[in-house]
Structure 1
Amino acid sequence: MSKRQSAKYKIDRRLGENIWGRPKSPVNKREYGPGQHGQRRKGKLSDFGLQLRAKQKLKGHYGDISEKQFRKTYEEANRRRGDTSENLIALLESRLDAVVYRAKFVPTIWAARQFINHGHVNVNGRRTNIPSFRCKPGDVIEVREKSKQLVIVLESVQLAERDVPDYIEADHTKMTAKYARVPGLGDVPYAVQMEPNLVVEFYSR
């Protein structure tokens, strides 16, 4: 299990964007970075700076996964046929923690990782506690019977701040979700603009 190295809202403030679209984000009040120099005028970013920022934003959105894990995901996306940036998004969205988060079983991507680690999720009827587990189209993800009445689950499905995307068929009465198809970049409900093409440029330098 990769350990989160920074508080999640520090990522928002460092990037100056509310990358999960959450009402609690400090960026909603202050759009500048943390610390005493946070309000200094920002210089124009170089091409490298833009690429690095795009990578930090995309990596941060998925729970700030480790650099090693993120690079391996890029390398697999690059090996696959087709557009590497679209492949990268498809691989990230097929992670079990991403599917649990998108299905609204938990309020945040961080909670999704912990929820899976603690053994609250079945995939196709089998208990799975690996957040990076790769889901395939047709896989059925289910909150385990003993976990369906947990407060975090009951509160999360009621959240109005985001909707379940159409590539996931969620049934909140049964607490099940089907990973229906592989999404493209335009299908994923990011709260801010993601630029996976710049991530590809960063790694292919």
Structure 2
Amino acid sequence: MTKRTSAKYKLDRRMGENIWGRPKSPVNRREYGPGQHGQRRKGKLSDFGLQLRAKQKLKGHYGDLTEKQFRRIFADAERMKGDTGENLIGLLESRLDAVVYRAKFVATVFAARQFVNHGHVTVNGQRVNIPSYRVKEGDVIEVRDRSKQLAVVLEATQLAERDVPDYIEADHHKMSATFVRRPGLSDVPFAVQMEPNLVIEFYAQN
């Protein structure tokens, strides 16, 4: 379980953006940050500030990953052939909790992490309870039979606020999804602009 579950909306406030596109986001009502100094006028961010903000936003979107987790994924993206930024997005979207979230089996990425942790999901028929498990192209992710009638699942499939992206084929009658391909930045339905190029610059200089 992530340590930031109870404060996930503070991420929205801190970034000043509704990073998941959810109707309940406090940014829809208050655009300033959390805390007693949240309403102070914001100065122009430095290059470092912009890079750090881009990293925090991307980390936050995937359930506020720890720096160690995020850095490991970035290192894997650097080692792969092709564009590092595109590779980074592809690897983040290949996480099992991200696939469960994108398939609309649960409402939030935080709920997806808990859902996987509690053993409600199988990959190719085998139970997997590791949210960071890296799904491969063609893998079939299913909600276990005993979990298909859970309220969190039934409510999530009815959400109108987001659609299942085309790199995942989801069947909400069977509660299964196939990871068709690893996506690039333009394929992912982010609610706000993500800038993996700034994340690359951040790690190059720090």
Equivalenced residue count is 205
1:19 partner amino acid: I
Please state whether the residue corresponding to 1:141 is helix, strand or coil: strand
Aligned-pair distance for 1:3?
3.4
Aligned-pair distance for 1:4?
3.1
Aligned-pair distance for 1:2?
5.2
Please say if 1:38 is aligned against 2:38.
yes
Match of 2:88 in 1: 88
Please say if 1:102 is aligned against 2:92.
no
Partner Cα separation in structure 2 for residue 171 and residue 116 of structure 1: 18
Match of 2:10 in 1: 10
Match of 2:57 in 1: 57
Offset from partner CA, 1:86-124 (integer Å, 9 cap, x none): 000000000000000000000000000000000000000
Stretches of structure 2 that go unaligned for 5 or more consecutive residues are: none
Query: Over the residues paired in the alignment, what is the CA RMSD in angstroms?
Result: 1.0
Over 3 Å counting, the alpha-carbon distance change for 1:29 and 1:105 in structure 2 is same
Aligned-pair distance for 1:40?
1.3
CA contact (8 A) 2:97 2:109 kept: yes
Match of 2:29 in 1: 29
1:107 partner amino acid: A
TM norm structure 1: 0.98
Aligned-pair distance for 1:71?
0.3
Aligned-pair distance for 1:6?
6.4
CA contact (8 A) 2:5 2:110 kept: no
Match of 1:193 in 2: 193
Partner Cα separation in structure 2 for residue 173 and residue 2 of structure 1: 29
Match of 1:123 in 2: 123
TM norm structure 2: 0.97
The more displaced of 29-38 and 174-183 is: 29-38
Partner Cα separation in structure 2 for residue 194 and residue 116 of structure 1: 25
Please state whether the residue corresponding to 2:72 is helix, strand or coil: helix
CA contact (8 A) 2:2 2:110 kept: no
Matches for 1:105-184 after TM superposition, within 5 Å: 105-184=105-184
CA contact (8 A) 1:52 1:199 kept: yes
